[in-house]
Amino acid sequence: METQEETSGSKPYGNHSLATLLVFTLAATLFFNCCRSGTEKQEWVPLFNGENLEGWDIKISGYPLNDNHGNTFRAEDGVLKVSYDEYEEFGDRFGHIFYNQPFSHYKLRVEYRFVGRQTPGGPGWAYRNNGIMFHSQPAESMELHQHFPVSVEAQLLGGDGENERPNGSVCTPGTNVEIDGERIDDHCISSGAQTFHGDQWVHFELVVYGDSLVYHIVEGDTVMTYGNIRLEDSGLPLGKGYIALQAESHPTEFKKIEILDLKP
| 79 burial type by CB count under 10 A (0-12 exposed, 13-18 middle, 19+ buried) | middle
Beta strand 152-157 pairing with 202-209: unpaired
Q: pLDDT tens digits for 221-234? A: 999 999 999 999 99
User: Domain containing 17: what range?
Assistant: 4-41
pLDDT at 7: 36
Of 37-41, 88-92, 186-190, 259-263, minimum mean pLDDT range: 37-41
Enumerate residues 6+ apart whose C-beta is below 8 A from 147.
Answer: 61, 92, 94
What separation, in Å, do the N-terminal and C-terminal C-alpha atoms of the chain show? Answer: 60
Domain check: are 113 and 128 in the same one?
yes
Is the model's pLDDT at 190 over the cut of 80? yes
Residues 36 and 51 in one domain: no
Within this chain, do residues 123 and 10 fall inside the same structural domain, yes or no? no
Do 50 and 15 sit in the same domain of this protein?
no
Closest CA to 82 of 55, 102, 112, 54: 112
Domain identity same for 33 and 160: no
Write out pLDDT tens, residues 28-85: 444 444 444 444 467 999 999 999 999 999 999 999 999 999 999 999 999 999 999 9
**Per-residue pLDDT at 80:** 98
User: Is the pLDDT score of 1 beyond 70?
Assistant: no
- What CATH code is carried by the domain that includes residue 113? 2.60.120.560
Q: Give the CA distances from residue 211 to residues 7, 147, 152, in Å, rounded to whole numbers and listed in that order.
A: 66, 24, 11
Question: Do 28 and 137 share a domain, yes or no?
Answer: no
Mean pLDDT over the full length of the chain: 88
Q: What is the C-alpha separation between 118 and 238, in angstroms, rounded?
A: 33
Q: What is the pLDDT of residue 9?
A: 39
Q: Let me know whether 35 and 158 are in one domain.
A: no
Domain count, the chain: 2
